[in-house]
């Protein structure tokens, strides 16, 4: 398989991660990971199998999180690859009774391997670059504890707050 076919397969896999995760298609979502894969988000660090479980639990409780992907850069060396993909995470939640959307922009940094002819993620490390919180109604202003907000890492501060 030429490198272009590998890049195409990896690109499709990265797109499927977002589509299947946000659609709650957990069986298909599992296929983008190798069995020993690891997720390294700010809110979760651990095996991909556990990440899938807690994501599913949130889904079942109507936690609203969406992922939007931008361009990707994929570097392949033999059976390993590294991909960086621009992304935006959007989450809707109540902030002290005020309905809000939080938007976080950054990159997914993925380490992938081709095993038995199949590309899949071994490690996913999101890099959070900036975020913001917006009330759904411009007439509402959420009451935010500034000290608590400042305690969270910049780039992920508002997502961590909610």
State the pLDDT at residue 3. Answer: 84
The pairing of strands 98-115 and 118-135 is antiparallel
State the pLDDT at residue 42. Answer: 80
pTM reported for the whole predicted model = 0.90
pLDDT digits (tens, 9 = 90+) for 110-137: 999 999 999 999 999 999 999 999 999 9
Structural fold of domain 3-161 = Nuclear Transport Factor 2; Chain: A, (3.10.450)
CA distance to 4, 102, 128, 137, per residue, from 156 (Å): 34, 10, 6, 22
DSSP state, 137? S
Q: How far apart are CA 68 and CA 80, in angstroms?
A: 25
Domain residues of the chain, as ranges?
3-161
pLDDT digits (tens, 9 = 90+) for 70-103: 999 999 999 999 999 999 999 999 999 999 999 9
Instruction: Report helix, strand or coil for 13.
Output: helix
Sign of CA dihedral 93, 48, 26, 108: positive
Whether the pLDDT of residue 1 is over 60: the answer is: no
Whether the pLDDT of residue 108 is over 60: the answer is: yes
- Residue 90 sits at the vertex; the CA angle it makes with 84 and 92, to the nearest 5 degrees, is 160
State the pLDDT at residue 92. Answer: 94
Mean pLDDT of 14-32: 97
């Amino acid at each position: 398989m030429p490198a272009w076919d590998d890049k195409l397969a990896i690109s499709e896999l990265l797109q499927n991660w977002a589509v299947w995760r946000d659609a709650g298609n957990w069986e298909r979502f599992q296929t983008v990971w190798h069995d020993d894969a690891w997720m390294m988000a700010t809110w979760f660090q651990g095996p991909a199998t556990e990440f899938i479980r807690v994501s599913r639990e949130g889904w079942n409780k109507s936690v609203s999180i969406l992922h939007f992907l931008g361009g990707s850069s994929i570097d392949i060396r033999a059976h390993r690859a590294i991909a960086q993909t621009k992304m935006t995470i959007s989450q809707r939640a109540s902030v002290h009774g005020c309905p809000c959307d939080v938007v976080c922009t950054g990159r997914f940094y993925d380490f992938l391997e081709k095993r038995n002819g199949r590309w899949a993620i071994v490690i996913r490390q999101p890099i959070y670059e900036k975020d913001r919180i917006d009330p759904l109604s411009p007439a509402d202003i959420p009451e935010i504890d500034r000290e608590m907000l400042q305690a969270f890492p910049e780039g992920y501060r508002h997502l961590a707050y909610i």
